[in-house]
């Protein structure tokens, strides 16, 4: 019997590909969002609103992750934006290799922003870096105000939190102050946006933040060798 | 159920390392799993058993060391345990702390049998 030292990160192969993706995005000046939430929180609705806000100013691309179906990709396609559907066939999250493969279908020379919609799940997607600039967690008020503390990693790693469906607040028992307080205690730098995608409310500050981030990334892109 | 993906990644690393070491059999696999990872040890063991079936790591013991979440406060220069989602310095209340441990998903070492056994 012999003991051998390994001391290796289990996801190191994924991390390496995530780094490659991230370096490509840096060279091209492409700002990349990774949208994550539980199923039904409004990722695709946010994506639709975001495309409406940005598509006249920036060139956009979308990667749709779902276990099965291309329903979401069809919704995005209808808005005239290039979309690639990934069906994970059971896996509960996207990983960096899936993104790398999907990138082959985009003209990355002409892409200001790539928005990745992850599989609906508040646990697993947080663990898998894709090479993105910002993880965004979408929480809808119908899910209950205890979610940040139940899924701390997701809230800890995200750059922005979208609180969606705020138009429903009068009808349900959700203490939004608690959500904000708990989320901020997990992550003091978290940017928080209170939005209703269906009523198109609260979208201006989200748009402003995105424009700043996209321009920042574009201005720091590295010239091709 | 990202435990299944994690088990698949563990298997890939094990098989590569076992081949390098000319192992005939992998007897024990020891892992470090951080408290912030959301990995459920029982699920991971279950998935590992599925993934290792028919390989040299079949029936290997999976030893999981759970690593608590620890933070560091740059103001106080102190390291402390984080429990019950209290991500702040236990001394001064500073929220801008660094996480020192808790995100580990690591293979520590393997126990193998080679041709000398």
B12 with A13: Cβ contact below 8 A: yes
- What's the pLDDT at A223? 63
Task: For residue B82, give the chain A residue with the closest CA.
Answer: A186
Dump pLDDT digits (tens) for A166-196. Answer: 999 999 999 999 999 999 999 999 999 999 9
Query: Nearest by CB to B108, which of A7, A126, A186?
Result: A7
- What's the pLDDT at A222? 67
CA of A39: how far to CAs of A65, A66, A190, B31, in Å?
12, 10, 22, 31
Task: For residue A10, give the chain B residue with the closest CA.
Answer: B106
Cβ B80 vs Cβ B89: under 8 Å: yes
Dump pLDDT digits (tens) for A131-171. Answer: 999 999 999 999 999 999 999 999 999 999 999 999 999 99
Q: Is A191 helix (H, G, I), strand (E, B) or coil?
A: strand
Dump pLDDT digits (tens) for B80-92. Answer: 999 999 999 999 9
Q: Residue with structure tokens 């279908």?
A: A105
- What's the pLDDT at A1? 87
Query: Nearest by CB to B85, which of A7, A127, A152?
Result: A152
- What's the pLDDT at B116? 86
The tens place of each residue's pLDDT in chain A, 225 residues long, gives 899 999 999 999 999 999 999 999 999 999 999 999 999 999 999 999 999 999 999 999 999 999 888 888 899 999 999 999 999 887 889 999 999 999 999 999 989 999 999 999 999 999 999 999 999 999 999 999 999 999 999 999 999 999 999 999 999 999 999 999 999 999 999 999 999 999 999 999 999 999 999 999 988 876 655
Q: Does residue B59 have a pLDDT over 90? A: yes
Please state the pTM of the whole predicted model: 0.92
The confidence band for B1, taking pLDDT boundaries of 50, 70 and 90, is low
- Average pLDDT, whole number, for chain B? 95
Q: Residue with structure tokens 């894709």?
A: A130
Cβ A167 vs Cβ A196: under 8 Å: yes
- What's the pLDDT at A90? 79
What CA–CA distance (Å, rounded) separates A161 from A212?
17
Q: How close is the nearest chain B Cα to the Cα of A14, in Å?
A: 9
Dump pLDDT digits (tens) for B22-43. Answer: 999 999 999 999 999 989 999 9
């Amino acid at each position: 019997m012999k003991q051998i030292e390994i001391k290796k990160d289990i996801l190191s192969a994924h991390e390496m590909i995530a780094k490659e993706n991230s370096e490509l995005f840096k060279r091209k000046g492409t700002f990349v969002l990774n949208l994550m939430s539980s199923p039904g929180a409004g990722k695709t609705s946010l994506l639709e609103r975001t495309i409406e806000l940005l598509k006249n100013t920036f060139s956009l691309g979308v990667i749709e992750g779902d276990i099965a179906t291309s329903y979401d990709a069809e919704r995005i396609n209808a808005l005239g934006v290039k979309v690639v559907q990934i069906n994970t066939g059971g896996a509960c999250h996207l990983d960096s290799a899936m993104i790398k493969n999907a990138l082959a279908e985009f003209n990355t020379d002409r892409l200001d922003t790539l928005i990745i919609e992850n599989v609906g799940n508040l646990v697993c997607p947080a663990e898998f870096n894709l090479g993105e600039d910002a993880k965004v967690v979408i929480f809808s008020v119908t899910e209950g105000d205890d979610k940040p503390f139940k899924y701390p990693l997701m809230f800890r790693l995200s750059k922005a939190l979208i609180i969606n469906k705020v138009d429903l607040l009068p009808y349900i028992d959700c203490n939004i102050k608690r959500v904000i307080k708990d989320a901020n205690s997990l992550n003091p730098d978290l940017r928080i946006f209170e939005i209703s995608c269906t009523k198109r409310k609260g979208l201006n500050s989200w748009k402003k933040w995105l424009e700043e981030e996209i321009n920042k990334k574009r201005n720091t892109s590295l010239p091709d060798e | 159920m990202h435990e299944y993906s994690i088990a698949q990644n563990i298997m890939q690393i094990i098989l590569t390392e076992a081949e390098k070491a000319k192992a005939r059999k992998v007897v024990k696999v020891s892992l470090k799993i951080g408290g912030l990872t959301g990995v459920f040890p029982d699920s991971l063991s279950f998935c590992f058993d599925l993934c290792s079936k028919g390989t040299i790591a079949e029936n290997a013991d999976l030893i999981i060391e759970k690593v608590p979440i620890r933070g560091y406060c740059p103001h106080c220069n102190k390291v402390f345990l984080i429990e019950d989602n209290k991500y702040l310095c236990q001394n001064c209340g500073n929220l801008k702390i660094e996480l020192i441990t808790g995100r580990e998903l690591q293979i520590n070492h393997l126990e193998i049998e080679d041709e000398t056994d």
